[in-house]
Amino acid sequence: MDDRRVVRPLLGFSASVRHHVGVVFPAGLEAAVASLRAPELSPIVDLLAWPSPDRDDSGRPLAVFVADFGGVACLDADNPEGVLIEGRHPLPSTDPMVFAVHLDEAADPSPDHERNSYPLPWMRLSSFFTDPRSPDIAVVHTGKHFFPEQGGHEGEHGSLGVIQSRAPLVLSGAGVRSRGALDHHARLVDVMPTLAWVAGVEPASLADLDGVIRSDLVERGARYVIGLLWDGAHPGSLVERAASGELPGVARLLERGCYLTGGAVAEFPSLTLVNHTSMLTGVGPGRHGVVGNVYWDRESNARVVPNDASTWHRVAQLYRDGVTTLFEAVVSARPDARTASINEMTERGAWASTFALVRSILDSGDAGGSGLSAAAEPDDFLTMMRGFLPDPLESNLVTHSRCAEDMDYAFYSAIDLFGLSSMLELFSGDEGDWPAVSWWSQYTTDAAHHAGGPRSAIATDGLRDCDARLVVLLDHLDSIGALDRSLILLTADHGFESADTSVRGDWAPALAAALEPLGVPWRDEGPGFIYLGVQQ
């Protein structure tokens, strides 16, 4: 990035800013950005990003602006790392391999802005701002920002920064050479085309995706393709604790495969529903339409909350036209193939699906509702869910003390136990009935990392519990002769950083002081998605 130069703004505040549906006065955008760039907010505001008003035929902005308190840059297809407009460049690095060595990250957790890296900024931000559900301004929290009053935790994710954006990527088994650590990185959108290709989908059918087939890492030849997602699993901890013997299941995978030290870069924002959808459709949020865990939909004039246990089973209703899931792609190429999605929200088209079962139960009881608003059917759904989940305190695959300490740890441990029993059932009986492609998502790791941050004791217990359940699955696959014929991919949806509980603050007062005198209404979802011209 040494050739970056200072230029006059390519797209300034002189024209009204159109975001497909919403139109705001340029003075409102300018005032909001100026207020959020105030140096006194720099402990909690890492970056701001907003799109240019001009777009191509697909709706993608022709440029995206990025700023912090010290400078502004303009990113576009010709300058994906940004051309400097003012001050110093707000993206000190875009190297995806920064902090790829776990010891480096552990020595500098939640690094200050100047030491951080923001990989693939144009690719990720331009996709995010393509969909009209995205905000007018995205505010990126600093890694140290602790905001429990707005739903924050001691462990957080969502940033454009490399640590929160890095998910692990392990490939093991049939078709993978045992190569250990590879000093490369991938993207989470590469998961879908890679697994679909291994499962028999032809490359031409996958050519239009944002992700690519990683044939440099795996060859065709596996009889069974198994995807494993440990939500929020910290990649450095995963590999380090496998090497120390604390995660024997992951160690078994590594013995028969490889992992990328740079992991897989999440789409922006590095949030759960965005990246579950991205990795299993192979496209970013600008194409699949799930732009956040919570956002404002200008088209319906409503708040949408996709990432809640009471709404997961209806997420496919949010997909934009043209989206194809892994399961749909495989069945289109192999109509007789069975596919399975266990505890995974991006499950449309799967022959066996946890959430299809949930919908069937709810619909038969006329519990109804779209499940996509903040108040839709949570009681019916969660009551029904808890009614058929196992008791985690009765399992030796769960750290019981953590269940008493953290309600989310207990709830997601029960979900993960149910997932394990579902996977074991799928791979039982006649071999002809076993799924050619299956996906199993575990969530205890996310609850544990939120509770304590990466490398905390509770995060370690979350990893150990998920690993214990993985060992049971691997033993079962081995006992039925399926393990050696299976390709297994293990990943996550994002990384994690530890907040500093002393770094508190809220940018709402600054926004209110800037916008209210102008008569510009606004709302903040997340927090971090600023919608202008929308009432609170």
Give the model confidence (pLDDT) of 126-146 as tens digits.
999 999 999 999 999 999 999
As a whole number of angstroms, the distance between CA 74 and CA 83 comes to: 5
195: helix, strand or coil: helix
> 438 Cβ partners below 8 Å, 6+ apart?
224, 225, 226, 227, 339, 340, 341, 342, 423, 426
Note the pTM of the prediction, 2 decimals.
0.93
Amino acid residing at 192: M
**Whether pLDDT at 233 is above 90:** yes
How is the chain split into domains, by residue range?
17-152+499-532, 164-266+275-282+322-354+389-498
Does the CA dihedral 371-372-374-375 come out positive or negative? Answer: negative
360 CB neighbour count, 10 Å cutoff: 12
pLDDT at 51: 96
Per the CB < 8 A criterion, the answer to whether 325 and 339 are in contact is no
Residue 259 φ/ψ region, left for φ over 0, alpha for ψ in the -120 to 50 degree band, beta for the rest: beta
Give the model confidence (pLDDT) of 282-327 as tens digits.
999 999 999 999 999 999 999 999 998 888 889 999 999 999 999 9
Per the CB < 8 A criterion, the answer to whether 65 and 71 are in contact is no
As a whole number of angstroms, the distance between CA 235 and CA 265 comes to: 11
Give the model confidence (pLDDT) of 60-99 as tens digits.
999 999 999 999 999 999 999 999 999 999 999 999 999 9
**Whether pLDDT at 13 is above 80:** no
Amino acid residing at 347: E
Question: Tokens 């935790």 identify what position?
Answer: 153
Give the model confidence (pLDDT) of 165-188 as tens digits.
999 999 999 999 888 999 999 999
Give the model confidence (pLDDT) of 394-407 as tens digits.
999 999 999 999 99
Mean pLDDT of 221-229: 98
Res. 1 pLDDT band, cuts 50 70 90 = very low
Beta strands 180-182 and 257-260 are: parallel
Helix residue ranges, H only, 365-492: 378-388, 400-405, 407-426, 444-452, 457-479
Across the chain, mean pLDDT equals 92
Q: Three-state secondary structure along 68-89?
A: ECCEEEEEECCEEEEEEEEECC
Could you tell me the fold of the domain covering 164-266+275-282+322-354+389-498? Alkaline Phosphatase, subunit A (3.40.720)
Mean pLDDT of 219-243: 96
Question: Tokens 């293990």 identify what position?
Answer: 490
Percent of the chain's residues with pLDDT above 90:
85
Res. 380 pLDDT band, cuts 50 70 90 = low
Element (H or E) spanning 205, and its range?
none
